[in-house]
Structure 1
Amino acid sequence: MGNAEPPREVVASNLRLRLAQDEWEVGAKLPSRAQFAHHCGVGLNVLQKATERLIVEGLLEGRAGSGTYVAPPRERLRMIRSRHRERRGGSPFRSDMHELGSSGTWESSTHARTPAPDRIARRLGIEPGEPTVRTAYEFLADGKPAQLSTSWEPMASTGDTPILLPELGPLAGKGVVERMRSIGIDIETWLELPRPERATEEQATLLGLNIGDLVLAIERTYYAGDGRVVETADIIVPDRSWEVAYEFAVDPHEPA
């Protein structure tokens, strides 16, 4: 009994199934909450929480003073990862969204002198516990959650410079490549390791997903010309909204 799903999740799952079976057409108005609650054998509060979950997921939409309607399917957009995105200046994410005709914004929280966890220390090539600047990002496309990112930069590289805090100072909001170049560090290569994962409770809450929904986790690391690692990040992209493609240039003069 202790493992039983909360009533709101049972109702939400039932609604998802009925929507998937096209019980209502796109744009159709659902029965009133009182009727629905009676039909499902639950209280109005439980039904409200269930429908709110489906509104967050994009399956339903609420219209003030009118009711709840079946939402049109969300378009799955393509996110291009390439060297080109690092050469445009400014924020790569904002440029990505601009190319898609969307407005890219973000919210962030930065903590300096964060001791490097073991796995991050290995990626940065530093000792565990050495100070880093940790920044957590929530990226938004037209005001809606698009992706998450948590970045770590070793303070040994930026500690006495104006770019110590990524979202403050003269280059606030710029990309890592541009920020590092301003202090004489030229990033020459970057490595990304993508892998499929399931959304954690925190990720699901921030991205408007269900716990366990498919996400693409990208482990990204930037390298300076001398081989130093100057930043590493964990990026989370919701699979239902985005497909990620990698673009590579071909040198026509390079021998096969």
Structure 2
Amino acid sequence: MLPAYMIIRDELKKQVDERKWSVGDRLPSERDLAEAFGVSRMTLRQAVTLLVDEGVLERRVGSGTYVASRRVQEKMRGTTSFTEIVTSQGRLPSSRLISYQRKVASETECQQLGLSAGEQVIRMERVRYADNLPLVYEVASIPEKLIKGVDRKDITEHFFQTLTANGYAIGKSQQTIYAKTASERVASYLDVTKGHAILALTQVSYFTDGQPFEYVRSQYVGDRFEFYLENK
């Protein structure tokens, strides 16, 4: 026979799946749930902790336990735009542009994008959303010579589609992922508290001929986004 906390875990999961509570809803207090199930608060807390670990529920310090939003997933294979990732999962992508500047490429940007010292990049800073929920803060650098004459809106809103429409063939990308915590500034953009868990990603994307065309530094909200690997 399953332990009591596992039975409660399964029942709570069933209630979430059956939409007794919607995404973002606050669950009753642990005391009320424990009384409803006829168990101790410790047993109830074990069940809730399992669901938090599984991403079904989320705890908010000083506020309570809530039904977690479904995480957006990115398969770590090939090169796919944020818009394509979010749209493929039935959610509405959008973005807010924070800054858009023409700058002399930094040493790192030169290395990552194969540029010579003194060459220019377009550096844009933005927040990306899925169904109006902020998922990622990113800074993208693009060789300025690559997008001369291209409308700014086409770059900021659907860059990959614009490249494809202009005859470029998008190839592989190289990604590095690591854990960090949100700074006060980034936290304010992502609607989380300072120190919140962040999945940081650096990515260089290439055309099929091997030419790098974009260098991105992204910070994803850890409990709203996940990466997964697929091996063949």
How many corresponding residue pairs? 181
Unaligned runs of 5+ in 2: 1-28, 34-57
What residue in structure 1 maps to residue 227 of structure 2?
Answer: 244
Matched residue, 2:169: 186
Q: Relative to structure 1, is the Cα distance of residues 23 and 82 closer, same or farther in structure 2, using a 3 angstrom cutoff?
A: closer
Distance 1:199 1:78, change over 3 A: same
Matches within 5 A, 1:22-37: none
Quick check: 1:197–1:217 contact (8 Å CA) kept in 2?
yes
Determine the C-alpha separation between the residues in 2 that align with 1:201 and 1:233: 20
Which of 144, 152, 158 lines up with 1:174 in the alignment?
158
What is the aligned counterpart of 1:80 among 74, 83, 87? 74
Secondary structure of the residue aligned to 1:233 is: strand
- Quote the residue 1:115 is aligned against: 104
**% identical aligned pairs:** 18
TM-score by length of 2: 0.65
Segments of 5+ residues of structure 1 without an aligned counterpart are 1-21, 27-56, 62-68, 87-91, 251-256
Question: 1:187·1:224 contact (CA, 8 Å) conserved in 2?
Answer: yes
Give the structure-1-normalised TM-score.
0.60
CA distance in 2, matches of 1:236, 1:115: 23
The yes-or-no answer on 1:59 pairing with 2:60 is: yes
1:121 partner letter: C
| TM-aligned CA distance change 1:78 to 1:172, over 3 Å | closer
> What is aligned with 1:89?
none
The answer on 1:210 being equivalent to 2:188 is no
Closer/same/farther in 2, CA of residues 141 and 127 from structure 1, 3 Å limit:
same
Verify: 1:222 aligned to 2:216, yes or no.
Answer: no
In 2 relative to 1, CA 156–98 (structure 1 residues): closer, same or farther, beyond 3 Å?
closer
Aligned with 1:173: secondary structure? helix
Tell me which residue corresponds to 1:14: none
- The aligned counterpart of 2:217 is 234
Aligned-pair CA distance for 1:182: 2.9
Shift of 1:241: 2.3
Find the counterpart in structure 1 of residue 124 from structure 2. 135
